[in-house]
Amino acid sequence: MNTRLILLPFVGCLLFTTVAAQRPKRGEKPSAGQETSETAQARLRFVEPTFDFGTIERRGGDLIHEFEFVNEGTSPLVLVRVITSCSCLKAHFSKRPVAPGERGTLRITYEPHKREPGVFNKVIQIYSNSAGGRVVVTVQGNSVDTDRKTKNRN
């Protein structure tokens, strides 16, 4: 039998055990000079990850909501990129680092006139240097055309 086939899994297990033994256990603080990337990271948390605009007039103008977030990590947090699920959403955010424990805002502008009337649920993806990398927030509501309602009543 080929000794390479027998030794390969053994060496792999030995390597894994050695690396795992050098990591601090969950809940255990690393010793001095052993701070890991897990412990020195920014952590993005949105205070309110979903916002409901309620029932709105489709031609009533743009709607704005500011999502507040906090950096719960130990390193500065930087929002890198924000992707919206449709052209009816615009996102505005600062690229300045948010210090640990500090708060920031993500401003969302929803343009209901660009969509058909009805229930909507839009997704905003936020990419940052946070642990996990990507966070999702949503806006929802129901846009109506009051012109159509009056025409149907007559």
Domain ranges of the chain: 44-153
Q: For residue range 133-154, what is the model confidence (pLDDT) as tens digits?
A: 899 999 999 999 986 544 555 4
- 124 near 83, Cβ under 8 Å? yes
- 139 near 89, Cβ under 8 Å? yes
Residue 143 has what DSSP assignment?
E
Q: For residue range 42-78, what is the model confidence (pLDDT) as tens digits?
A: 999 999 999 999 999 998 899 999 999 999 999 999 9
Q: Cα–Cα–Cα angle for 129, 34, 31, nearest 5°?
A: 125
133: left (phi over 0), alpha (psi -120 to 50) or beta: left
- 100 near 78, Cβ under 8 Å? no
pTM value is 0.69
- From the options 2.60.40.10, 1.10.340.30, 2.40.420.20, 1.10.10.10, give the CATH code of 44-153: 2.60.40.10
